[in-house]
Amino acid sequence: MNILYAIPNCDTVKKARVWLAEHGIDYQFHDYKKQGIDRKTIEHWLTQKTWEELTNRAGLTWKKLPDAEKPTDAKGAIALMIEKTSVIRRPLIETNGQIVALGFNEDHYKETFST
């Protein structure tokens, strides 16, 4: 089962959801705003990606953070991602416990979800 972790009003997420729908790819939507995220899930992701890759440093939430609050290591990043889920790069798609997509790239989606 594919799980798409994101927030619904993000433009990148909207593009990814449209692409997945157009290609008949089923997924369960995990809404960070309603469901949050737990430490165990983030720690599992960190076995596959670095905290820098998981952090959306181009987003408004990150840019508004004072420099003193920006993490400099995984421990700080985990705490920030739990507190402010908008700093997690999105969408993140996980299949059978493995991150198969981070962000939206049509070519990568074609390769990953080819049927």
Q: Which of 10, 16, 54, 88 is catalytic?
A: 10
Reply yes or no on whether 46 is catalytic: no
Q: Residue 115's closest CA among 14, 29, 22, 48?
A: 22
Q: What is the DSSP letter of 68?
A: G
Phi, psi of 13, rounded to the nearest 5 degrees: -65, -40
* Contact (Cβ atoms closer than 8 angstroms) between residue 80 and residue 37: no
Beta bridge partners of 93: 4, 101
Task: Tell me which residues are annotated as active site.
Answer: 10
